[in-house]
């Protein structure tokens, strides 16, 4: 098997990369007539498919749609993708949005959701339902995406009504685009094809046939040239993973040449910023948030043109606005937050970094012209099996800013003096130690940035103090209650003992009186009582 049918024809024509015991003389390729002509192969047999109505569908992708070139006289088709809640009849209700408006389908299929979309839906669910959504044990481990093609343009009134109706029932809905039916070309594509035909009308078909394929380019072997501005703890942590398959350089106001050289990173001093930026594909700004605006404002914008600029701050709204204000439209912008980092317990001398498997990576493609380069950068985290979650910077901050601030605040309160090492520890104690290790490895500037750019941070600090005071009051009240209970029990015991003593004295006193009476009369007291009773009778 090859990457595509044209690729198999190319391999066979060159005779390089064939499987063992396969030669151009004993091997054939299943490919199109065009591929055979392009690579000068002999056609042994045509029409070998067992289903003559079978066809391959190709889609021409563009960042700008062609819906403005679709008029009512051109039959159109629209492709959408959506997810539905896990409930009975959900798909039936979704399809009814189109059936009620007499909109026909040409295709519908379902596929498992991508990991990034599944994690985004989980974040949405947690944001909507809070803690109950996180504690719900029955949440599905995978969900289905439904791909639907309907025979109408997205700008038609009936289509708009159907899509609004579907959006109310779905968890996620995206319109992939509208285009003409039956492979008809419109707009600038049609004009470009017509111009190509006119310019090449004197050439033969063999002279204008394809000579290279997009698949020929081996992206896996092309390394990104990545530069890190700010080679602190987190910048060094990232570079250990990036340097494995890419060329990495760094720049920092402090001399980091020794640390960079140990892991194969090239160090530049701050005065050599021009040389540092000259050949980069990706620029990662890994500085504390309180310094972010100052650092960005001093960057030479001309040297950033055509590059991808990535920020990795714990909050994204402020860095996003700063970059949009300072960078022009020719600079690609990616906001991200790798929600993991180094800790004091990490072995920095180890040549292999810690695993990122299962750790969340939040990102937003704010402004991307070179999507291929952006996807290649994000694939670094995908290959490390991170949980890729795409959401806007505003959604990210609303969902995680409070939790991140409280986590780092708790870690700074729980220093190592409060968490001494023990030979045996519970899971809860181990988790607290991990939090303390993680936050102790981060700089105070990072924590201050979480405080400064989170409008609710002061309220969270106040709530933390109130909770500590509440716990102290509860402890004092419990202690006073137990002391009072013990005192009351002690007083009751003393009173009981005194009452027993009094009772014993009374018993002893009664016994002495009876003995004296018996001695005086010469008869037992009981006999006197009997005689007295007989006289009364």
pLDDT of residue 503: 83
Boundary residue ending a domain (155, 174, 209): 209
| Domain of residue 256, CATH code | 3.40.50.720
417 and 503 inside one domain: no
**C-alpha to C-alpha distance for 184 and 237, rounded to whole angstroms:** 51
Question: Is 113 annotated as catalytic?
Answer: no
Helices 457-521 and 393-413 cross at an angle (nearest 10°) of: 40
pLDDT of residue 344: 45
Boundary residue ending a domain (154, 182, 209): 209
Report yes or no on 240 lying in a domain.
Answer: yes
- For 306-359, give the DSSP string: T-EEEE--S--HHHHHHHHHHS-TTSEEEEEEES----TTS-TT-SSPPP-TT-
228 and 347 inside one domain: yes
Buried b (16+ CB within 10 A) or exposed e, 236-271: bbbbbbbbeebbbbbbbeeebbebbeebebebbeee
pLDDT of residue 29: 87
Report yes or no on 162 lying in a domain.
Answer: yes
Domain count for the chain? 4
Of these residues, 58, 64, 142, 212, which one is catalytic? 58
* Residues 234 and 342: beta-carbon distance below 8 Å: yes
235 and 313 inside one domain: yes
**C-alpha to C-alpha distance for 55 and 69, rounded to whole angstroms:** 27
Question: Is 23 annotated as catalytic?
Answer: no
Paired residues of 145 in beta bridges:
83, 111
Q: Which two three-digit tokens encode residue 472?
A: 């102290």
- For 208-232, give the DSSP string: TS----GGGS-GGGPPPEEEEE--S
227 and 367 inside one domain: yes
pLDDT of residue 140: 62
pLDDT of residue 449: 74
* Residues 225 and 242: beta-carbon distance below 8 Å: no
62: three-class secondary structure by DSSP: coil
pLDDT of residue 188: 83
Report yes or no on 132 lying in a domain.
Answer: no
Report yes or no on 333 lying in a domain.
Answer: yes
Report yes or no on 499 lying in a domain.
Answer: yes
| Domain of residue 157, CATH code | 3.30.70.260
510 and 415 inside one domain: no
Helix H or strand E segment including 5: helix 5-14
Residue range(s) defining the domain that contains residue 471: 464-537
527 and 486 inside one domain: yes
259 and 199 inside one domain: no
> Closest Cα partner for 145 from 178, 115, 103, 181?
115
Report yes or no on 309 lying in a domain.
Answer: yes
276 and 408 inside one domain: yes
pLDDT values of the chain reduced to their tens digit, one per residue, 537 residues: 677 788 888 888 888 778 888 888 888 888 888 888 888 888 888 878 777 667 777 788 887 788 888 888 888 999 999 999 888 899 999 999 999 999 999 999 999 887 777 777 777 666 665 555 555 545 566 788 999 999 999 999 999 999 999 999 998 899 999 999 887 888 888 888 788 777 766 545 444 444 444 444 444 457 899 999 999 888 999 999 899 889 999 999 999 999 999 999 999 999 999 999 999 999 999 998 888 999 999 999 999 999 999 999 888 889 999 999 999 999 999 999 998 877 544 544 443 446 788 888 999 999 999 998 999 999 999 888 888 888 898 888 887 777 777 777 877 777 666 777 777 777 777 777 777 777 766 777 777 777 777 777 788 888 888 888 888 888 888 888 888 888 888 887 888 888 888 888 887 787 777 776 666 666 555 555 555 555 554
Of these residues, 23, 56, 64, 212, which one is catalytic? 56
* Residues 366 and 100: beta-carbon distance below 8 Å: no
pLDDT of residue 349: 45
Report yes or no on 134 lying in a domain.
Answer: no
Boundary residue ending a domain (450, 484, 504): 450
**C-alpha to C-alpha distance for 252 and 232, rounded to whole angstroms:** 8
419 and 444 inside one domain: yes
Provide the 10 A C-beta neighbour count for residue 275.
Answer: 13
* Residues 134 and 128: beta-carbon distance below 8 Å: no
pLDDT of residue 53: 65
Provide the 10 A C-beta neighbour count for residue 277.
Answer: 20
pTM value?
0.51
363 and 492 inside one domain: no
pLDDT of residue 424: 76
Report yes or no on 459 lying in a domain.
Answer: no
189 and 292 inside one domain: no
The three-point CA angle 90-95-97 to 5° equals 105
Phi, psi values for residue 173, rounded to 5°? -140, 130
pLDDT of residue 129: 58
424 and 476 inside one domain: no
């Amino acid at each position: 098997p090859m990457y595509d049918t044209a690729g198999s024809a190319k391999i066979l024509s060159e005779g390089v990369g064939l499987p063992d015991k396969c030669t151009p003389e004993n091997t054939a390729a299943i490919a199109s007539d065009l591929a055979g002509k392009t690579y000068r192969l002999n056609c042994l047999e045509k029409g070998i498919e067992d289903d003559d109505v079978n066809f391959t569908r190709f889609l021409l992708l563009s960042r700008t749609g062609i819906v403005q070139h679709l008029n009512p006289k051109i039959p159109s088709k629209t492709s959408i993708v959506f997810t539905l809640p896990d409930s009975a009849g959900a798909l039936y209700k979704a399809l009814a949005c189109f059936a009620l408006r007499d909109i026909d389908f040409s295709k519908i299929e379902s596929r498992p959701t991508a990991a990034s979309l599944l994690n985004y839906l989980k974040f949405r669910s947690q944001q909507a339902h809070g803690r109950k959504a996180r504690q719900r044990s029955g949440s599905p481990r995978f969900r289905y995406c439904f791909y639907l093609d309907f025979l109408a343009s997205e700008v038609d009134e009936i289509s708009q009504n159907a899509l609004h109706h579907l959006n109310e029932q779905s968890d996620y809905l995206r319109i992939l685009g509208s285009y003409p039916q039956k492979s008809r070309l419109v707009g600038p594509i049609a004009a470009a094809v017509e111009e190509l035909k006119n310019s090449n009308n004197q050439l033969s078909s063999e002279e204008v046939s394809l000579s290279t394929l997009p698949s020929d380019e081996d992206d896996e072997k092309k390394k990104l040239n990545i530069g890190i501005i700010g080679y602190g703890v987190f910048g060094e942590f990232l570079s250990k993973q990036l340097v494995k398959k890419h060329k990495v350089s760094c720049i920092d106001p402090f001399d980091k040449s020794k640390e960079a050289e140990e892991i194969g990173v090239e160090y530049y001093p701050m005065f050599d910023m021009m040389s540092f930026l000259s050949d980069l594909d990706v620029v990662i700004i890994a500085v504390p948030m309180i310094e972010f605006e100052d650092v960005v404002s001093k960057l030479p914008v001309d040297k950033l043109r055509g590059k991808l600029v990535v920020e990795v701050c714990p909050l994204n709204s402020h860095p996003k606005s700063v970059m949009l204000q300072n960078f022009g439209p020719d600079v690609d912008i990616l906001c991200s937050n790798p929600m993991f980092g180094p800790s004091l317990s990490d072995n920095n001398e180890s040549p292999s970094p810690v695993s990122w498997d299962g750790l969340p990576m939040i990102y937003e493609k704010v402004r991307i012209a070179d999507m291929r380069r952006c996807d290649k950068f994000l694939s670094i985290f995908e290959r490390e099996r991170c949980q890729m979650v795409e959401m806007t910077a505003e959604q990210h901050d609303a969902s995680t800013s409070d939790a991140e601030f409280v986590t780092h605040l708790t870690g700074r309160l729980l220093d190592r003096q409060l968490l001494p090492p023990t030979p045996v520890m519970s899971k809860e104690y181990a988790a607290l130690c991990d939090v303390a290790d993680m936050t102790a490895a981060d700089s105070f500037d990072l924590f201050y940035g979480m405080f400064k750019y989170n409008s609710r941070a002061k309220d969270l600090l106040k709530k933390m103090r109130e909770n500590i005071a509440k716990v102290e009051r509860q402890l004092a009240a419990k202690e006073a209650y137990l002391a009072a209970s013990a005192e009351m029990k002690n007083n009751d015991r003393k009173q009981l003992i005194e009452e027993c003593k009094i009772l014993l004295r009374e018993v002893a006193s009664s016994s002495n009186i009876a003995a004296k009476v018996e001695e005086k009369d010469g008869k037992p007291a009981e006999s006197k009582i009997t005689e007295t009773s007989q006289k009364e009778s």
